[in-house]
């Protein structure tokens, strides 16, 4: 993601999880804010550029370099804010002209892209910028370094390079990078700041609706995840209960004979299903019922052995829940 000049910081490192996008945008808009707001997430970064309270550009860039702008970017930002538990908001106030240049960098017209500096006549290019009274940003970079020169009406407003926090008046760093082998340039141009004032994304998008949709979508996803988890847990519980029921049937069948299974079925049904095997009260009733029925079929000695075995099996079964 771009490193941008910080200008005058209004807020830094505000926890995004506590923020509401429509509120943030409304506050910045009502305060006729000029500058940019950056949302830093672990996997993405979003930049929102404001000119006198008007949202002139939005850009969201993921770790993989994928970029989204405009309405898609606002939706992506809302989704990131809702779904990501972490993230920080920084708000920097900039001059109107610099803000225009930032806009150019983010969403301006690309005149040159990854152009090898050796293959172009840089002096002619700078002359053209001046002659055309261009508004925009010239980015000079190598794999390791990057610097930007912001222009207004063809005149440099300032220089900015990675490692710096704010705009500088000296071109030394930019010239240094331009002299490095493999240096390339990007050139972005934009309309004048006054013309930019004609567009306001906040007017053409219903940010509250985008936010509400994201919140609702996230909630439904959480609900679905919870439901899936509950169902999975229920399935696991029901499988374990079925296993325990089968163990109990085998024990009773071993002592009582084949009617033993029927006795267990009947007692389970009388006590509200096989969940009674993991409920203290239900287990007591179940055991009493089985013992009462077994007394009609099995000797006292075998009943004692059977009940001991049943208690042990049910205790082990219970411990697994």
Partner 1 sequence: MEKFFELLTQMNPFDLVQVIFWGLAGAISFYFSLGNARVWTSISIGFFLIFLSQAYGINPWAHYQKLTAFHYIIGTVAIMTITHGFLEYYVFCRTFEISGNKLVVYLSTLGVVAISGFFLIINPTPSPNTIRNFKMVENAIWVFLCVMNIEIVRKIYAAIKDSDISKGFIAFGIVFLCIFVWRGSDLYLQIFQWDKDWQDIIAIMTEETSDIEEYIVRVQLSQDVSRYAGLLSGVSVGGAFMYMYRLLK
The SS3 of residue 58 is strand
Cβ proximity to partner 1: between 5 and 260 the closer is 260
Q: Total residues at the site for partner 1 (CB under 8 A)? A: 18
Residue 61 forms beta bridges with which residues? 45, 67
> Site for partner 1 (CB under 8 A): which residue of 238, 299, 311, 315?
299
Cβ proximity to partner 1: between 119 and 296 the closer is 296
Q: Can you tell me the distance from the alpha carbon of 89 to that of 320, in angstroms, rounded to the nearest whole number?
A: 46
Please, what is the minimum distance in Å from the beta carbon of residue 287 to partner 1?
15
Residues 219-258 that bind partner 1 (CB under 8 A): 256-258
> Site for partner 1 (CB under 8 A): which residue of 263, 278, 307, 314?
263
Q: Can you tell me the distance from the alpha carbon of 134 to that of 126, in angstroms, rounded to the nearest whole number?
A: 10
> Site for partner 1 (CB under 8 A): which residue of 30, 124, 169, 301?
301
- H helices of the chain, where? 21-30, 70-83, 96-107, 122-131, 172-178, 193-196, 201-204, 207-256, 259-270, 280-294, 300-319
Task: Give the count of alpha carbons within 13 A of 121, CB side only.
Answer: 4
Cβ proximity to partner 1: between 154 and 262 the closer is 262
Q: Can you tell me the distance from the alpha carbon of 176 to that of 145, in angstroms, rounded to the nearest whole number?
A: 10
- Which region, judged by CB under 8 A, interacts with partner 1, from 220-228, 234-242, 261-269, 273-281? 261-269
Question: Are 130 and 114 a contacting pair, CB within 8 Å?
Answer: no
Q: Rule CB under 8 A: say whether 304 interacts with partner 1.
A: no
What single-letter DSSP state applies at residue 299?
-
- Which region, judged by CB under 8 A, interacts with partner 1, from 1-9, 114-122, 207-215, 260-268? 260-268
Cβ proximity to partner 1: between 37 and 310 the closer is 310
User: Where do contacts with partner 1 occur on this chain (CB under 8 A)?
Assistant: 256-259, 262-263, 266-267, 292-293, 295-302
């Amino acid at each position: 993601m771009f490193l941008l000049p910080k200008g005058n910081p209004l807020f830094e490192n505000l926890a995004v999880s506590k923020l509401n996008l429509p509120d943030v945008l409304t506050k910045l808009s009502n305060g006729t804010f000029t500058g940019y707001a950056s949302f830093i997430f672990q996997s993405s970064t979003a930049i929102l550029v404001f000119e006198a309270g008007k949202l002139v550009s939005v850009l969201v860039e993921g770790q993989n370099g994928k970029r989204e702008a405009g309405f898609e970017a606002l939706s992506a930002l809302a989704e990131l804010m809702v779904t990501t538990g972490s993230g920080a908001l920084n708000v920097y106030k900039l001059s109107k002209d610099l803000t225009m240049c930032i806009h150019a960098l983010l969403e301006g017209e690309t005149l040159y892209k990854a152009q090898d500096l050796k293959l172009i006549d840089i002096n002619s290019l700078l002359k053209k910028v001046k002659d055309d009274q261009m508004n925009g940003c010239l980015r000079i970079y190598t794999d390791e370094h990057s610097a930007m020169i912001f222009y207004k009406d063809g005149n440099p407003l300032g220089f900015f390079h990675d490692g710096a926090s704010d705009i500088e008046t000296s071109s030394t760093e930019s010239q240094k990078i331009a002299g490095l082998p493999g240096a390339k340039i990007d050139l972005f141009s934009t309309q004048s700041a006054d013309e930019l004032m004609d567009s306001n994304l906040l007017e053409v998008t219903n940010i509250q609706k985008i936010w509400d949709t994201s919140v609702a979508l996230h909630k439904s996803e959480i609900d679905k995840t919870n439901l899936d988890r509950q169902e999975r847990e229920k399935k696991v519980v029901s499988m374990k209960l079925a296993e325990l029921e089968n163990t109990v049937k085998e024990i009773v069948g071993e002592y009582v004979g084949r009617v033993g299974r029927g006795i267990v079925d009947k007692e389970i049904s009388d006590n509200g299903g096989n969940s009674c095997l993991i409920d203290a009260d239900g287990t007591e009733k179940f055991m009493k019922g089985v013992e009462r029925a077994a007394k009609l079929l099995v000797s006292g000695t075998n009943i004692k052995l059977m009940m001991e075995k049943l208690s042990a099996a049910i205790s082990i079964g219970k411990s697994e829940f």
